[in-house]
Structure formats: C-alpha cells, structure tokens
Amino acid sequence: MNELLAALAAKGDLAHVALSAWAGTSTSLLLWALKQVIRFNRRFEEFMSELEKLNQLLRMDP
C-alpha cells in the first residue's frame, strides 16, 4: 500500500487519492443513512399496524 501511495505521490496524483477517499467515505455515509431510514420506516410501519389493531379493538361493540 505504501508503494502505491509513493508512486501516486511521485506522479502528482495525490489529489486523486484524496478525492477517491472522500468519495468512498461519502458513499459509505450515504449507505449508512439509507439503512437508518429503512429501519425507521419499518419501525414506523409496525407502530402504525399496532395502532390500527388497537383502534379496531376499541371500536368493537360490547
């Protein structure tokens, strides 16, 4: 890995390495955020389902 960085630094392509690192980090954060949104949506749907069940129980005539 150090040899690769040394070769890139010698050619002046260190900016490309920094850009690639930034792009990889940004992509990872985006995927993590999407995963969290999906989890939240699933929990919210479960909550709404339970709320609907409760509403149906409370509407029953005795």
Number of structural domains the chain divides into: 1
Among positive and negative, which fits the CA dihedral 50, 52, 53, 55?
positive
Range of the domain at 52: 2-59
pTM assigned to the model: 0.63
Q: What is the pLDDT of residues 40-50, one digit of tens each?
A: 999 999 999 99
Structure confidence by residue, pLDDT tens digits, 7-62 = 777 776 777 878 889 999 999 999 999 999 999 999 999 999 999 999 999 997 65
CB 17: neighbour CB atoms within 10 A?
13
Query: Residue 14: which residues within 8 A CB-CB, separation 6 or more?
Result: 8
Query: Nearest-5° angle of CA 28, CA 25, CA 29?
Result: 40
